[in-house]
Amino acid sequence: MALEIRDVANSADDQDAWFRAVYTGFLTAEPPSAENLAERRARSDMSRARGAFDRDRCVATFRSFAQELTVPGGAVVAADAVSGVTVTATHRRRGLLSRMMGADLAAAKERGDVVATLAAAEYRIYGRYGFGPAAVLTDRRVDRPLAGLDPRWTLPEAEGTVAFVDGAEVRKEGPGVHDRFRRTRAGAVDLNSTFWERQTGELRWEPGGWKEPFYALFRDPAGVAQGIVVFDVQDVWKAGQPANVARIRKLYAATPGAERALWRFLLSVDWVTELRADEHDPDSLLPLLLPNARAAAITGESDLLWIRPLDVPGMLTARRYSATGALVLDIRDPLGLSDGRYLLDVSEAGASCAPTTRSADLTLDTGTLSSIYLGDASAARLADAGLLDAETTGAPDRADSLFRTGRRPWCPDTF
Ligand SMILES: CC(=O)SCCNC(=O)CCNC(=O)[C@H](O)C(C)(C)COP(=O)(O)OP(=O)(O)OC[C@H]1O[C@@H](n2cnc3c(N)ncnc32)[C@H](O)[C@@H]1OP(=O)(O)O
Protein backbone atom coordinates (compact mmCIF):
# COMPACT_ATOMS: atom_id res chain seq x y z
CA MET A 1 0.00 0.00 0.00
CA ALA A 2 1.32 3.47 -0.93
CA LEU A 3 2.36 5.86 1.80
CA GLU A 4 0.07 8.85 2.12
CA ILE A 5 1.40 12.28 3.06
CA ARG A 6 -1.32 14.46 4.56
CA ASP A 7 -1.94 17.56 6.66
CA VAL A 8 -2.69 16.70 10.26
CA ALA A 9 -4.12 20.09 11.26
CA ASN A 10 -7.74 18.93 11.47
CA SER A 11 -7.53 15.53 13.12
CA ALA A 12 -6.75 14.91 16.80
CA ASP A 13 -6.02 11.24 16.08
CA ASP A 14 -3.59 12.14 13.30
CA GLN A 15 -1.90 14.66 15.59
CA ASP A 16 -1.51 12.12 18.39
CA ALA A 17 0.02 9.68 15.89
CA TRP A 18 2.23 12.50 14.62
CA PHE A 19 3.59 13.38 18.09
CA ARG A 20 4.18 9.71 18.86
CA ALA A 21 6.14 9.42 15.61
CA VAL A 22 8.26 12.43 16.62
CA TYR A 23 9.18 10.63 19.84
CA THR A 24 10.11 7.48 17.90
CA GLY A 25 11.99 9.48 15.24
CA PHE A 26 14.06 11.26 17.89
CA LEU A 27 14.66 7.91 19.60
CA THR A 28 12.70 8.56 22.80
CA ALA A 29 11.52 5.10 23.81
CA GLU A 30 8.96 6.17 26.41
CA PRO A 31 5.80 7.30 24.52
CA PRO A 32 4.13 10.60 25.48
CA SER A 33 1.28 10.28 28.00
CA ALA A 34 -2.32 11.03 27.00
CA GLU A 35 -2.11 14.25 29.04
CA ASN A 36 1.09 15.29 27.29
CA LEU A 37 -0.48 14.64 23.88
CA ALA A 38 -3.56 16.68 24.74
CA GLU A 39 -1.40 19.61 25.91
CA ARG A 40 0.80 19.43 22.83
CA ARG A 41 -2.23 19.42 20.55
CA ALA A 42 -3.75 22.39 22.36
CA ARG A 43 -0.54 24.42 22.57
CA SER A 44 1.37 23.72 19.32
CA ASP A 45 0.86 25.47 16.01
CA MET A 46 -0.09 22.47 13.88
CA SER A 47 -1.56 24.47 11.00
CA ARG A 48 1.37 23.51 8.74
CA ALA A 49 2.14 20.05 10.13
CA ARG A 50 2.26 17.09 7.76
CA GLY A 51 2.73 13.40 8.34
CA ALA A 52 3.35 10.36 6.19
CA PHE A 53 1.02 7.50 7.05
CA ASP A 54 1.45 3.79 6.47
CA ARG A 55 -2.14 2.69 7.03
CA ASP A 56 -2.97 4.29 10.41
CA ARG A 57 0.63 4.52 11.56
CA CYS A 58 2.45 7.84 11.24
CA VAL A 59 5.98 7.13 9.94
CA ALA A 60 7.27 10.59 9.05
CA THR A 61 6.70 14.06 10.49
CA PHE A 62 7.34 17.61 9.30
CA ARG A 63 6.07 20.96 10.55
CA SER A 64 6.68 24.57 9.69
CA PHE A 65 5.45 27.78 11.26
CA ALA A 66 5.82 31.54 10.89
CA GLN A 67 8.91 32.98 12.54
CA GLU A 68 10.88 36.23 12.67
CA LEU A 69 14.63 36.09 12.11
CA THR A 70 16.75 39.08 13.15
CA VAL A 71 19.30 40.14 10.52
CA PRO A 72 22.36 42.41 10.86
CA GLY A 73 21.19 45.93 11.69
CA GLY A 74 18.22 44.75 13.78
CA ALA A 75 15.47 44.30 11.15
CA VAL A 76 13.50 41.05 11.15
CA VAL A 77 12.56 39.00 8.09
CA ALA A 78 9.64 36.59 7.66
CA ALA A 79 10.94 33.06 8.01
CA ASP A 80 9.45 29.66 7.32
CA ALA A 81 10.70 27.76 10.40
CA VAL A 82 11.01 24.03 9.82
CA SER A 83 10.79 21.72 12.82
CA GLY A 84 9.89 18.23 14.01
CA VAL A 85 11.49 16.53 11.00
CA THR A 86 11.58 12.76 11.43
CA VAL A 87 11.29 9.62 9.37
CA THR A 88 10.81 6.45 11.40
CA ALA A 89 13.78 4.10 11.02
CA THR A 90 11.61 1.49 9.28
CA HIS A 91 10.73 3.95 6.47
CA ARG A 92 13.93 5.97 6.01
CA ARG A 93 15.68 6.67 2.70
CA ARG A 94 12.54 6.33 0.57
CA GLY A 95 12.30 10.03 -0.22
CA LEU A 96 9.77 11.02 2.48
CA LEU A 97 11.75 13.99 3.78
CA SER A 98 12.45 15.20 0.23
CA ARG A 99 8.74 15.13 -0.62
CA MET A 100 7.66 17.00 2.51
CA MET A 101 10.49 19.54 2.32
CA GLY A 102 9.90 20.23 -1.39
CA ALA A 103 6.20 20.92 -0.80
CA ASP A 104 6.83 23.11 2.26
CA LEU A 105 9.51 25.28 0.65
CA ALA A 106 7.42 25.79 -2.50
CA ALA A 107 4.48 26.92 -0.33
CA ALA A 108 6.74 29.23 1.71
CA LYS A 109 8.07 30.84 -1.47
CA GLU A 110 4.50 31.29 -2.73
CA ARG A 111 3.53 32.93 0.58
CA GLY A 112 6.36 35.41 0.29
CA ASP A 113 8.56 34.20 3.13
CA VAL A 114 12.07 35.61 2.80
CA VAL A 115 14.06 32.68 4.19
CA ALA A 116 13.50 29.21 5.63
CA THR A 117 15.20 28.36 8.94
CA LEU A 118 15.87 25.23 10.96
CA ALA A 119 18.02 23.86 13.76
CA ALA A 120 19.91 21.07 12.02
CA ALA A 121 20.34 17.79 13.90
CA GLU A 122 23.06 16.59 11.51
CA TYR A 123 25.31 18.47 9.12
CA ARG A 124 24.63 16.36 6.05
CA ILE A 125 20.84 16.46 5.92
CA TYR A 126 19.86 19.90 4.64
CA GLY A 127 22.45 21.18 2.15
CA ARG A 128 20.70 19.30 -0.65
CA TYR A 129 17.61 21.45 -0.08
CA GLY A 130 19.55 24.72 -0.40
CA PHE A 131 20.18 25.37 3.32
CA GLY A 132 23.56 26.44 4.70
CA PRO A 133 24.95 26.84 8.24
CA ALA A 134 24.46 30.44 9.35
CA ALA A 135 25.41 30.63 13.04
CA VAL A 136 27.29 28.49 15.53
CA LEU A 137 27.12 27.73 19.25
CA THR A 138 30.08 27.31 21.56
CA ASP A 139 30.55 25.41 24.79
CA ARG A 140 32.61 27.26 27.40
CA ARG A 141 33.90 26.17 30.73
CA VAL A 142 35.23 28.66 33.28
CA ASP A 143 37.73 27.57 35.91
CA ARG A 144 36.73 30.17 38.48
CA PRO A 145 39.83 30.10 40.71
CA LEU A 146 42.01 30.49 37.61
CA ALA A 147 39.94 33.44 36.33
CA GLY A 148 41.56 35.82 38.82
CA LEU A 149 38.42 37.76 39.75
CA ASP A 150 38.19 39.88 42.89
CA PRO A 151 36.03 37.80 45.29
CA ARG A 152 34.82 40.97 47.04
CA TRP A 153 32.92 42.10 43.92
CA THR A 154 29.32 43.16 44.18
CA LEU A 155 27.23 44.92 41.52
CA PRO A 156 27.41 48.71 42.01
CA GLU A 157 23.90 50.07 42.59
CA ALA A 158 24.41 52.67 39.88
CA GLU A 159 24.63 49.85 37.32
CA GLY A 160 21.42 48.03 38.31
CA THR A 161 20.34 45.11 40.47
CA VAL A 162 20.41 41.32 40.25
CA ALA A 163 17.81 39.34 42.20
CA PHE A 164 16.83 35.71 42.51
CA VAL A 165 13.24 35.35 41.30
CA ASP A 166 10.69 32.54 41.02
CA GLY A 167 9.16 30.94 37.94
CA ALA A 168 6.10 33.20 38.03
CA GLU A 169 8.31 36.30 37.83
CA VAL A 170 10.24 34.73 34.97
CA ARG A 171 7.04 34.05 33.06
CA LYS A 172 6.07 37.70 33.59
CA GLU A 173 9.39 39.34 32.68
CA GLY A 174 11.01 36.75 30.41
CA PRO A 175 9.04 37.47 27.24
CA GLY A 176 9.91 41.19 27.33
CA VAL A 177 13.60 40.55 28.05
CA HIS A 178 13.84 38.02 25.24
CA ASP A 179 11.99 40.23 22.80
CA ARG A 180 14.36 43.12 23.46
CA PHE A 181 17.38 40.81 23.34
CA ARG A 182 16.51 39.11 20.06
CA ARG A 183 16.18 42.42 18.22
CA THR A 184 19.79 43.25 19.13
CA ARG A 185 21.31 40.10 17.71
CA ALA A 186 21.46 38.76 14.15
CA GLY A 187 20.47 35.10 14.06
CA ALA A 188 18.04 35.32 16.98
CA VAL A 189 14.40 34.32 16.49
CA ASP A 190 11.13 34.98 18.29
CA LEU A 191 9.90 32.40 20.79
CA ASN A 192 6.77 30.30 20.71
CA SER A 193 4.06 30.84 23.33
CA THR A 194 5.00 27.81 25.45
CA PHE A 195 8.71 28.64 25.83
CA TRP A 196 8.69 30.26 29.27
CA GLU A 197 6.20 27.76 30.68
CA ARG A 198 8.55 24.96 29.63
CA GLN A 199 11.61 26.78 31.00
CA THR A 200 9.92 27.19 34.37
CA GLY A 201 8.33 23.74 34.67
CA GLU A 202 4.73 24.89 34.17
CA LEU A 203 4.62 22.62 31.13
CA ARG A 204 6.65 19.45 31.55
CA TRP A 205 6.76 17.95 28.09
CA GLU A 206 10.34 16.78 27.99
CA PRO A 207 11.02 13.16 28.96
CA GLY A 208 13.35 12.55 31.90
CA GLY A 209 11.75 14.57 34.69
CA TRP A 210 11.98 18.18 35.84
CA LYS A 211 14.61 19.74 38.08
CA GLU A 212 13.85 23.25 39.29
CA PRO A 213 16.67 25.63 38.33
CA PHE A 214 17.68 29.01 39.76
CA TYR A 215 16.47 32.15 38.00
CA ALA A 216 18.13 35.54 38.35
CA LEU A 217 16.83 38.77 36.90
CA PHE A 218 18.84 41.89 36.10
CA ARG A 219 17.06 45.24 36.26
CA ASP A 220 18.70 48.40 34.94
CA PRO A 221 18.92 51.51 37.18
CA ALA A 222 15.46 52.56 35.90
CA GLY A 223 14.03 49.23 37.14
CA VAL A 224 13.47 47.72 33.67
CA ALA A 225 14.20 43.98 33.39
CA GLN A 226 17.01 43.71 30.82
CA GLY A 227 18.57 40.34 31.49
CA ILE A 228 17.69 36.90 32.76
CA VAL A 229 19.69 33.79 33.55
CA VAL A 230 18.38 30.28 34.19
CA PHE A 231 20.96 27.97 35.74
CA ASP A 232 21.30 24.90 37.84
CA VAL A 233 24.01 23.90 40.29
CA GLN A 234 25.58 20.50 40.69
CA ASP A 235 26.48 19.95 44.33
CA VAL A 236 30.10 18.75 44.35
CA TRP A 237 32.51 18.71 47.32
CA LYS A 238 36.15 17.67 47.09
CA ALA A 239 38.28 16.97 50.21
CA GLY A 240 35.89 19.00 52.33
CA GLN A 241 35.95 21.95 49.93
CA PRO A 242 32.96 23.12 47.88
CA ALA A 243 33.54 22.54 44.16
CA ASN A 244 30.05 23.18 42.80
CA VAL A 245 29.42 23.39 39.07
CA ALA A 246 26.93 25.98 37.76
CA ARG A 247 25.41 25.14 34.37
CA ILE A 248 23.78 27.91 32.36
CA ARG A 249 20.54 26.78 30.76
CA LYS A 250 19.61 30.16 29.28
CA LEU A 251 21.10 33.63 29.46
CA TYR A 252 19.51 36.55 27.63
CA ALA A 253 20.73 40.12 27.93
CA ALA A 254 19.09 43.00 26.11
CA THR A 255 21.96 45.40 26.90
CA PRO A 256 25.73 44.98 27.31
CA GLY A 257 25.36 46.20 30.91
CA ALA A 258 22.92 43.36 31.60
CA GLU A 259 25.26 40.82 30.07
CA ARG A 260 28.26 42.04 32.09
CA ALA A 261 26.25 42.11 35.31
CA LEU A 262 24.85 38.60 34.89
CA TRP A 263 28.23 37.03 34.12
CA ARG A 264 29.87 38.83 37.03
CA PHE A 265 27.04 37.73 39.31
CA LEU A 266 27.39 34.09 38.21
CA LEU A 267 31.14 34.25 38.73
CA SER A 268 30.69 35.61 42.26
CA VAL A 269 28.49 32.83 43.68
CA ASP A 270 30.34 31.25 46.64
CA TRP A 271 30.84 27.45 46.46
CA VAL A 272 30.83 27.54 42.63
CA THR A 273 34.28 26.76 41.23
CA GLU A 274 33.26 25.92 37.68
CA LEU A 275 30.82 27.56 35.30
CA ARG A 276 29.60 25.78 32.20
CA ALA A 277 27.91 27.62 29.36
CA ASP A 278 27.14 24.94 26.79
CA GLU A 279 25.60 25.67 23.39
CA HIS A 280 26.04 29.34 24.07
CA ASP A 281 26.91 32.62 22.36
CA PRO A 282 30.02 32.22 20.15
CA ASP A 283 30.79 35.89 20.80
CA SER A 284 29.99 36.04 24.50
CA LEU A 285 31.53 38.85 26.57
CA LEU A 286 32.46 36.25 29.19
CA PRO A 287 36.21 35.80 28.51
CA LEU A 288 36.71 39.56 28.21
CA LEU A 289 35.42 40.05 31.75
CA LEU A 290 38.12 37.88 33.30
CA PRO A 291 41.60 39.05 34.28
CA ASN A 292 42.68 35.70 32.85
CA ALA A 293 40.58 35.17 29.69
CA ARG A 294 42.10 31.72 29.17
CA ALA A 295 40.16 30.52 32.21
CA ALA A 296 37.04 30.59 29.96
CA ALA A 297 38.11 27.85 27.60
CA ILE A 298 36.08 26.88 24.55
CA THR A 299 35.40 23.17 24.92
CA GLY A 300 33.21 22.69 21.86
CA GLU A 301 31.64 24.40 18.88
CA SER A 302 28.90 23.36 16.48
CA ASP A 303 26.61 24.80 13.86
CA LEU A 304 22.91 24.78 14.72
CA LEU A 305 21.00 27.48 12.81
CA TRP A 306 20.75 26.78 9.09
CA ILE A 307 18.93 29.09 6.75
CA ARG A 308 17.77 28.97 3.15
CA PRO A 309 17.10 31.91 0.82
CA LEU A 310 13.60 32.08 -0.67
CA ASP A 311 13.51 35.74 -1.75
CA VAL A 312 17.06 36.94 -2.48
CA PRO A 313 16.25 40.66 -2.98
CA GLY A 314 14.04 40.66 0.15
CA MET A 315 16.79 39.04 2.13
CA LEU A 316 19.67 41.22 0.94
CA THR A 317 17.82 44.52 1.27
CA ALA A 318 16.64 43.75 4.83
CA ARG A 319 20.09 43.75 6.40
CA ARG A 320 22.55 46.56 7.05
CA TYR A 321 26.07 46.52 5.59
CA SER A 322 29.46 47.60 6.91
CA ALA A 323 30.51 49.50 3.78
CA THR A 324 29.14 50.84 0.52
CA GLY A 325 29.69 49.17 -2.85
CA ALA A 326 28.15 47.00 -5.55
CA LEU A 327 28.40 43.29 -6.13
CA VAL A 328 26.78 40.98 -8.70
CA LEU A 329 25.90 37.59 -7.21
CA ASP A 330 25.09 34.63 -9.42
CA ILE A 331 23.02 32.37 -7.16
CA ARG A 332 22.57 28.66 -7.84
CA ASP A 333 19.69 26.90 -6.13
CA PRO A 334 19.54 23.09 -5.97
CA LEU A 335 15.72 23.25 -5.90
CA GLY A 336 15.42 26.06 -8.46
CA LEU A 337 13.51 28.39 -6.11
CA SER A 338 15.92 31.35 -5.96
CA ASP A 339 18.25 31.01 -8.94
CA GLY A 340 19.36 34.16 -10.70
CA ARG A 341 21.91 36.90 -11.05
CA TYR A 342 21.35 39.81 -8.70
CA LEU A 343 22.95 43.22 -8.36
CA LEU A 344 23.41 44.20 -4.72
CA ASP A 345 24.06 47.93 -4.50
CA VAL A 346 24.79 49.42 -1.08
CA SER A 347 24.87 53.19 -0.71
CA GLU A 348 24.64 55.55 2.24
CA ALA A 349 20.87 55.59 1.68
CA GLY A 350 20.54 51.80 2.05
CA ALA A 351 20.72 48.64 -0.02
CA SER A 352 18.94 47.75 -3.24
CA CYS A 353 18.93 44.37 -4.91
CA ALA A 354 17.37 43.35 -8.22
CA PRO A 355 17.87 40.84 -11.03
CA THR A 356 20.55 41.98 -13.48
CA THR A 357 22.15 41.01 -16.78
CA ARG A 358 25.56 42.36 -15.68
CA SER A 359 28.34 39.79 -15.43
CA ALA A 360 28.85 38.18 -12.03
CA ASP A 361 31.45 39.04 -9.38
CA LEU A 362 30.71 35.91 -7.36
CA THR A 363 29.03 32.62 -8.19
CA LEU A 364 27.70 30.77 -5.18
CA ASP A 365 24.92 28.43 -4.17
CA THR A 366 22.10 29.29 -1.77
CA GLY A 367 23.76 27.42 1.10
CA THR A 368 26.95 29.46 0.76
CA LEU A 369 24.97 32.69 0.60
CA SER A 370 23.29 31.61 3.83
CA SER A 371 26.67 31.19 5.53
CA ILE A 372 27.75 34.71 4.56
CA TYR A 373 24.40 36.40 5.09
CA LEU A 374 24.34 36.87 8.87
CA GLY A 375 28.03 37.75 8.91
CA ASP A 376 29.49 34.56 10.33
CA ALA A 377 31.44 33.11 7.41
CA SER A 378 34.09 34.87 5.36
CA ALA A 379 33.62 34.89 1.57
CA ALA A 380 37.42 34.89 1.14
CA ARG A 381 37.75 31.75 3.23
CA LEU A 382 34.89 30.05 1.38
CA ALA A 383 36.52 30.99 -1.94
CA ASP A 384 39.84 29.53 -0.77
CA ALA A 385 37.98 26.33 0.13
CA GLY A 386 36.49 26.18 -3.38
CA LEU A 387 32.94 26.73 -2.13
CA LEU A 388 32.41 30.02 -3.92
CA ASP A 389 33.78 31.23 -7.30
CA ALA A 390 35.33 34.67 -7.62
CA GLU A 391 34.61 35.91 -11.16
CA THR A 392 36.33 39.29 -10.68
CA THR A 393 39.55 40.08 -8.84
CA GLY A 394 39.09 40.83 -5.15
CA ALA A 395 35.35 40.08 -5.17
CA PRO A 396 35.44 37.86 -2.01
CA ASP A 397 37.26 40.59 -0.07
CA ARG A 398 34.75 43.18 -1.27
CA ALA A 399 31.93 40.85 -0.18
CA ASP A 400 33.56 40.52 3.25
CA SER A 401 33.85 44.27 3.69
CA LEU A 402 30.11 44.57 2.97
CA PHE A 403 28.80 41.57 4.92
CA ARG A 404 31.06 41.82 7.99
CA THR A 405 29.21 42.47 11.28
CA GLY A 406 30.13 43.56 14.82
CA ARG A 407 29.25 40.65 17.08
CA ARG A 408 28.84 37.24 15.49
CA PRO A 409 25.31 36.00 14.86
CA TRP A 410 23.79 33.80 17.53
CA CYS A 411 20.57 31.81 17.72
CA PRO A 412 20.24 30.71 21.36
CA ASP A 413 16.92 28.94 20.87
CA THR A 414 16.32 25.55 19.32
CA PHE A 415 12.97 25.27 17.60
C1 LIG B 1 14.81 20.65 11.77
C2 LIG B 1 14.83 19.29 12.44
O3 LIG B 1 13.83 18.82 12.87
S4 LIG B 1 16.32 18.50 12.51
C5 LIG B 1 15.95 16.81 12.92
C6 LIG B 1 16.17 15.85 11.78
N7 LIG B 1 15.74 14.52 12.22
C8 LIG B 1 16.61 13.61 12.70
O9 LIG B 1 17.80 13.78 12.73
C10 LIG B 1 15.97 12.33 13.26
C11 LIG B 1 16.67 11.07 12.73
N12 LIG B 1 16.73 11.02 11.28
C13 LIG B 1 15.63 10.90 10.50
O14 LIG B 1 14.50 10.89 10.99
C15 LIG B 1 15.81 10.75 9.01
O16 LIG B 1 17.05 10.13 8.75
C17 LIG B 1 15.77 12.08 8.22
C18 LIG B 1 14.44 12.79 8.50
C19 LIG B 1 16.89 13.01 8.63
C20 LIG B 1 15.88 11.78 6.74
O21 LIG B 1 14.83 10.95 6.36
P22 LIG B 1 14.90 10.07 5.02
O23 LIG B 1 13.67 9.25 4.95
O24 LIG B 1 16.17 9.33 4.96
O25 LIG B 1 14.87 11.21 3.92
P26 LIG B 1 14.90 11.01 2.35
O27 LIG B 1 14.72 9.56 1.99
O28 LIG B 1 13.95 11.98 1.78
O29 LIG B 1 16.41 11.42 2.06
C30 LIG B 1 16.75 12.41 1.16
C31 LIG B 1 18.23 12.35 0.89
O32 LIG B 1 18.96 12.78 2.05
C33 LIG B 1 19.91 11.78 2.43
N34 LIG B 1 19.97 11.78 3.87
C35 LIG B 1 18.90 11.75 4.70
N36 LIG B 1 19.33 11.78 5.98
C37 LIG B 1 20.68 11.82 5.96
C38 LIG B 1 21.66 11.85 6.95
N39 LIG B 1 21.33 11.83 8.25
N40 LIG B 1 22.94 11.90 6.56
C41 LIG B 1 23.28 11.89 5.24
N42 LIG B 1 22.36 11.87 4.25
C43 LIG B 1 21.08 11.82 4.60
C44 LIG B 1 19.36 10.50 1.87
O45 LIG B 1 20.35 9.53 1.67
C46 LIG B 1 18.76 10.96 0.55
O47 LIG B 1 19.79 11.13 -0.41
P48 LIG B 1 19.56 10.84 -1.97
O49 LIG B 1 18.43 11.74 -2.38
O50 LIG B 1 20.86 11.19 -2.56
O51 LIG B 1 19.18 9.39 -2.03
Active site residue 252: no
Model confidence, pTM: 0.97
Residues 285 and 170 in one domain: yes
Residues 151 and 297 in one domain: yes
Residue 206's pLDDT is what?
84
Tell me the percentage of the chain whose pLDDT exceeds 70. Answer: 100
Active site residue 231: no
Residue 209's pLDDT is what?
86
Strand spans (E) along 336-409: 340-347, 350-355, 362-365, 389-390
Residues 340 and 289 in one domain: no
Q: Measured in Å, how far apart are the chain's first and last C-alpha atoms?
A: 33
Out of 304, 335, 354, pick the residue that ends a domain.
304
Q: What is the mean pLDDT of residues 118-140?
A: 98
Establish whether residue 94 lines the binding site of ligand 1, counting it when its CB lies within 6 angstroms of any ligand atom: yes
| pLDDT of 197 higher than 90 | yes
CB 215 within 8 A of CB 262: no
Establish whether residue 95 lines the binding site of ligand 1, counting it when its CB lies within 6 angstroms of any ligand atom: yes
Using pLDDT thresholds of 50, 70 and 90, give the confidence band for residue 150: very high
Identify the active-site residue in 53, 126, 215, 265: 126
In sign, the C-alpha dihedral spanning 206, 302, 369, 69 is positive
Residue 371's pLDDT is what?
98
CB 218 within 8 A of CB 258: yes
What contacts 111, CB < 8 A, 6 or more positions away? 80
What's the gap in Å between 59 CA and the centre of ligand 1? Answer: 13
Q: What is the mean pLDDT of residues 334-346?
A: 98
What contacts 151, CB < 8 A, 6 or more positions away? 268
Establish whether residue 83 lines the binding site of ligand 1, counting it when its CB lies within 6 angstroms of any ligand atom: yes
CB 157 within 8 A of CB 275: no
Residues 221 and 144 in one domain: yes
pLDDT in tens, 253-299: 999 999 999 999 999 999 999 999 999 999 999 999 999 999 999 99
- Domain coverage including residue 115: 4-119
What's the gap in Å between 136 CA and the centre of ligand 1? Answer: 21
Q: What is the mean pLDDT of residues 392-408?
A: 97
CB 117 within 8 A of CB 373: no
Residues 159 and 295 in one domain: yes
| pLDDT of 76 higher than 90 | yes
Out of 288, 304, 320, pick the residue that ends a domain.
304
Residue 204's pLDDT is what?
92
CB 200 within 8 A of CB 173: no
Report yes or no for ipTM above 0.90. yes
Buried b (16+ CB within 10 A) or exposed e, 302-325: ebbbbbbbbbbbbbbbbbebeeee
Long-range CB contact pairs, 6-11, < 8 A, 24+: 6/50, 6/51, 6/53, 7/48, 7/49, 7/50, 8/46, 8/49, 8/50, 8/51, 8/58, 9/46, 9/47, 9/48, 9/49
Rounded Cα–Cα distance for residues 376 and 319 (Å): 14
User: CA angle 300-304-306, nearest 5°?
Assistant: 145
Using pLDDT thresholds of 50, 70 and 90, give the confidence band for residue 1: low
Q: What is the CATH number of the domain that holds 320?
A: 3.30.1050.10
Residues 299 and 316 in one domain: no
What contacts 38, CB < 8 A, 6 or more positions away? none
| pLDDT of 161 higher than 90 | yes
pLDDT in tens, 316-326: 999 999 999 99
Out of 281, 304, 327, pick the residue that ends a domain.
304
| pLDDT of 90 higher than 80 | yes
Using pLDDT thresholds of 50, 70 and 90, give the confidence band for residue 208: confident
